[in-house]
Structure 1
Amino acid sequence: MDLSNFIILYVADIERSVEFYKPLLDRDPVEISGEFALFTSHSGMRFGLSKASLHCSELNSEFSAKMELCFEQPNEITLQMNLIKWRELGVTFIEELTKANFKTSFTTLDPDGHKLRIFCY
């Protein structure tokens, strides 16, 4: 089996999440309804947002965001540009810019508590 190129996050409010992700991803969704939104990348990656209340019975629990998405950047300059942009957008930071032996990264939260890690090697 090959790795997937389609990620779906469960979110409480589709419209709020679309408005959060549009400026971060620099694109509009290609599909949107009251229960689902879909973003696509130039490489064919698909990123969906699905209304959590549709899935809570499947999960047999209350909705709780626990996903971490990682966005690799080509270099530290691009990473720094995104850091500035995301700060200007008012994104919640939970880890400031950190340099380790193998990567440089920062971590934020989306409106539903999903972690967003932006990094470069």
Structure 2
Amino acid sequence: MITPSMTIIYVDSPEKSADFYQQLLGVAPVEKSPTFAMFVFSNGFKLAMWSKHTVEPAAKASGGGGEISFVCEQQEQVDALYQQWQAAGLTIAQHPVAMDFGYTFVAEDLDGHRLRVYQFYG
């Protein structure tokens, strides 16, 4: 069996996106250049940003086509992040709401990629 090791999103400016995510998540990127940036988190998850202008082969989608999800243990944590991200000026695509899978809200990054925060009802 193979295990996925990284998510790559296509962005207009990896350097600007890295700055955005560093401020949002409080973690510095391990790599940052005009064409590529990458974060490695304590749980092993890797998030990379590749310039949509230089990715090879050329990407069919150029932004906003997916979600990065952040799980919280309690509904109050979801609400706290919502307030924090809204105050920071992030675009909010979905205000906190109870859905079939859990309590959630959705914000957007600089390129329109969705950032879903949720508390799972499992």
- Fold conserved between structures, TM > 0.5: yes
| Residues paired across the two proteins, number | 120
Q: What is the match of residue 93 of structure 2?
A: 94
Q: Which residue of 2 aligns with 1:71?
A: 70
TM superposition shift of 1:65? 3.1
2:65 pairs with 1:85 = no
Residues 64 and 42 from structure 1, CA distance in 2 versus in 1: closer, same or farther, beyond 3 angstroms?
Answer: closer
What is the 5 A alignment of 1:43-62? Answer: 43-55=43-55, 58-59=58-59, 61=60
The structure with the greater share of residues assigned to helix is 1
Q: Is the 8 A contact 1:56 1:63 kept in 2?
A: no
Q: TM-score, normalised by structure 2?
A: 0.87
| Structure 1: segments with no counterpart, 5+ residues | none
CA RMSD of aligned residues (A): 1.8
Aligned pairs for 1:33-44 (under 5 A) are 33-44=33-44
**Is the Cα contact below 8 Å between 1:6 and 1:47 reproduced in 2?**
yes
Identity rate of aligned residues, in percent?
26
TM-score normalized by the length of structure 1: 0.88
Q: Which runs of 5+ in 2 are unaligned?
A: none
**1:22 corresponds to which letter in structure 2?**
Q
1:13 paired residue number: 13
